[in-house]
Amino acid sequence: MARKTVERSVASPAARRRPARTTGKSVDSTAEAADKNRPLVEDIRLLGRILGDVIREQEGQAAFDLVERVRQLSVAYRLKSDAQAGRALDRLLKNLSGDQTVSVIRAFSYFSHLANIAEDRHHIRRRNHHERQGHLQEGSLALAMERLADAGIRGDEIARMLGHAYISPVLTAHPTEVQRKSILDAERAIAAMVEQRDDLASERDLAANEERIRARVTQLWQTRMLRTSKLTVADEIENALSYYRTTFLRQIPRLYRDIEAALPGHPIAPFFRMGNWIGGDRDGNPNVSAETLEMALARQCETALRFYLTEVHELGAELSISDTLAPISPALRALAEASPDHSSHRTDELYRRVLIGMYARLAATLREFTGTEALRHAVAPQNPYRSADEMLAELQVVEDSLVANHAQALVEPRLRPLKRALQVFGFHLATVDLRQSSDKHELVVAELLRTARLEADYSALDEAAKQQLLIGLLNDARPLRVHGSQYSEHALHELAIFESAGRMLARYGRAALRHYIISHTEAVSDLLEVQLLMKETGLLLGTLDGDGDAAAVGALVVVPLFETIGDLRQASQIMRDYFALPGVSGLLQRSGSEQDIMLGYSDSNKDGGSFTSNWELYCAELALAELFGELGREHGITMRLFHGRGGTVGRGGGPSYQAILAQPPGTVNGQIRLTEQGEVIASKYAHPEIGRRNLETLVAATLEATLLHPTKSAPASFIEAAAAISDASFAAYRRLVYETPGFTDYFFSATPIREIAELNLGSRPASRKATREIEDLRAIPWSFSWGQCRITLPGWCGFGSAIDEFLKDDGQREQRLALLRRMHKQWPFFRTLMSNLDMVIAKSDFAIAARYVELVEDKKLGKRIFGLIQAEWQRTSDALTLITGTDQRLASNPALARSIEHRFPYLDPLNHLQVELLRRYRGHVGDREQPDPAFARVRRGIHISINGIAAGLRNTG
């Protein structure tokens, strides 16, 4: 009886308990909501019970009982504010051995992972239910099409817009993806088995399914959660490629199919493209080189070709049509005759002969492009394809013959998705962006000029002189490099990237490499320097002042990245000055008539706080839209904004649908790129169905933003209010983060930033320089650290003080409050900001955060800074209540409220344990390079807790 009680307690989710203190009353507290969520509760109970059984089996009853005791005390401390439970929890944790601590942390970490699986499944279940009921969901393609139809927009108009569109999510490798690929693969398998349970009826089948889940949970428990060495760029490339095999290669063609079904009779040109930074982004990452770029493109090509090989093989098995029973087209017969397959078994099966010939060509293409071999060979590889278009033309012959001869039904299941995959992914799979910081380019240019004795100290020149010199060099056909001269390792490394890009373009085509991004763009010369390096390495041919064949043409789009508040304020003027230079607009026209501009959310937030960052981004976009409206009319140049969004609200995160619809008027126009980073990639794309839904959301939002024009020019009163709030928010944020004495010491003590830097998360260092300055810290670990200690400061800091200032008692308070409420109701930009604030406030927890203050050695300093932070958080929460009219957090997002309710009581123990281990770790005296085994266990426990908390919070990086 006692054992049964314990089992039920561990397996029970938090669904029957009150939500976290910061969420207010649960929106899903009605009987109807409880019924709706019953399958979720059952899935969590199932996975929790299986995990409990595995812990008992693997670690023993005592370990299981310990996990349960920690859970009970943590829940009592959270939900009942039970001080006695808090003290008992402290005593218990301080007395745990290293092995016990690691075991408990692993238990709660894996529960977070399993809860994610259950939630994802329930999300799909609810979405399917709504669709069956005819209830269209926000962000769905169906609802977007209905809104377009209601607005009188015809199918041909939508198809025409898509014909000029460019929508591209870009996967980036940043140090917040804490899961190993082995863990992700096992969890994908568990997710598939949980999904299968909805279709199982018999007790026997359910029991067999449960045993398969148990096997995978056992695998998880016996699999090392942490990496033993730091990720290499090659590891990051492989991790990213797994999402193509799992999701993108199949789900993007399915998305196109849904669009075609919604627009019958209107051909849809390829508009959806995948992008990738991994292997080409060397900003702050010395491990990225010409070799990693070539590796990335080769592995991408191999992934695409192996997918096509499999699909062609399967298609050959399906098209067993005999020409004695069904006619074929002359074009297909010609292809069959040209096939190297002469088997007597297939003399009448001409489709199979064609596809075997295509397989042989693909196998030869694989060998030529990647040096690897296909898995099977009916005939020897031969006659490789030179481009994806060649293969596409042959597939079109197959389709035309099937359609003309009453076999249309055989086209839809595999042939048409394969054709669409070829259109979208080609032989390159995804466009790899190159990126480097502007100061690194300047060093190379300065060295080239110094060695050529053209300018002894280029970096000392003012901006006007730099521009004049660079324009002159771009109009000089002669190279800069001096034969026989010795150049620095840095210069050779950078030039090798450009030279490699030229070789890769020749091999894989322009779709493989399209953009060169310049981090920290601060002046026109930053753009010209990259153009000069392209000229030096053959990526820019001709001169700016040339005409005819001598006129300059660039192989890559040179993309400025404006990151800081100051950079954003200068963005439109820099671009205006750039295009005013003689020859620049002509260069762009000849090179494709497109100009991407990247906007950095992370660094602008770290620089000036969340509200100011978003406001300056909004203003920069408006100014750029005005400029490119002029350029479009005069020169036909298209602007495409590239949004460098992270996972957290503090780094531009939040729902993509609302974010796209909230863009300023005239800034989308069917053109958008946005980054997908860290653990958000797994959250969005690890499950194929959820991945397709997220991709669908990007298309739906782009359609609505472009054709329905949901954002109009904001009234002057809104603009003036937002500007005033931004100024006050900027001052309050800077005052706390950069001007408060001791804040940096507090941050490095009261968050696990030091330990995150040691964790083998990514190939990139956590800081740009070896300092403790916040200015030098990368925005990603900055946000990640505040998420770990549950303060989430980058997502809200400064806003509360700004609203206090805006509503100061000067006789205008009520009018200003009414204005803020109108802004929330009528202005998508402001409403989206408030929604994101709501989310980040709900995810913070100062009762947990207070535990981390104990880690600050200077107790007075810790108490003082924490008090300032908590007071600002309270001001922000109160301001949000004033503006929205409700003190219920997540009232408009019941799914997230439900998620928090279910997971936070199981997340809290990880924070309590992390604090205890951080205390032990930092108090350890000895050699940290070769620590004793007990110390190594402590460090391992910290790193596992970081993994578990990140998994529980989901968007923390």
Residues that are catalytic: 174, 606
Helix (H) or strand (E) holding 168: strand 166-172
Query: Encoding tokens for residue 889?
Result: 């957090």
- Distance of alpha carbon 916 from its chain centroid, rounded? 32
Residue type, 90: D
Of the CA atoms within 13 Å of residue 259, those in its CB half-sphere come to 30
d(CA 632, CA 629): 5
d(CA 609, CA 589): 38
d(CA 544, CA 542): 7
d(CA 363, CA 377): 8
877 contact partners, CB below 8 Å, separation of at least 6: 800, 841
DSSP-derived secondary structure letter, 714: P
Residue 166 vs residues 17, 297, 556, 675, 770: alpha-carbon distances, Å: 46, 21, 16, 14, 40
Task: Give just the sign of the alpha carbon dihedral 781, 784, 788, 794.
Answer: positive
Tell me the DSSP string of 567-586. HHHHHHHHHHHHHHSTTHHH
Nearest to 263 by CA among 425, 407, 165, 142: 142
Is the separation of the CB atoms in 381 and 374 below 8 Å?
yes
Residue 228 vs residues 179, 180, 186, 940: alpha-carbon distances, Å: 12, 11, 19, 10
338 contact partners, CB below 8 Å, separation of at least 6: 357
Nearest to 519 by CA among 621, 434, 611: 434
Query: Exposure string (b/e) for 827-857, b if CB count within 10 Å is 16 or more?
Result: bbbbbbbbbbbbbbbbbbbbbbbbbbbebbe
Query: Encoding tokens for residue 103?
Result: 């075991």
Query: Encoding tokens for residue 175?
Result: 């140090």
Nearest to 122 by CA among 49, 183, 195: 195
The region, left, alpha or beta by phi > 0 then psi within -120 to 50, assigned to residue 595 is: beta
d(CA 336, CA 619): 60
The region, left, alpha or beta by phi > 0 then psi within -120 to 50, assigned to residue 292 is: alpha
3-state helix, strand, coil in the chain (%, to 5): 65, 5, 30
Query: Encoding tokens for residue 808?
Result: 């100061």
Residue type, 801: S
Is the separation of the CB atoms in 481 and 277 below 8 Å?
no
The region, left, alpha or beta by phi > 0 then psi within -120 to 50, assigned to residue 264 is: beta
- β-partners of residue 624 are none
- Residue 950 CB-density burial (10 A; 0-12 exposed, 13-18 middle, 19+ buried): buried
d(CA 493, CA 801): 47
Nearest to 93 by CA among 64, 56, 67: 67
* 433 φ, ψ (degrees, to nearest 5): -85, 140
Q: Using CA atoms of 665, 670, 671, 672 in order, give the dihedral in degrees to the nearest 10.
A: 80
Is the separation of the CB atoms in 342 and 356 below 8 Å?
no
Query: Encoding tokens for residue 801?
Result: 């003080």
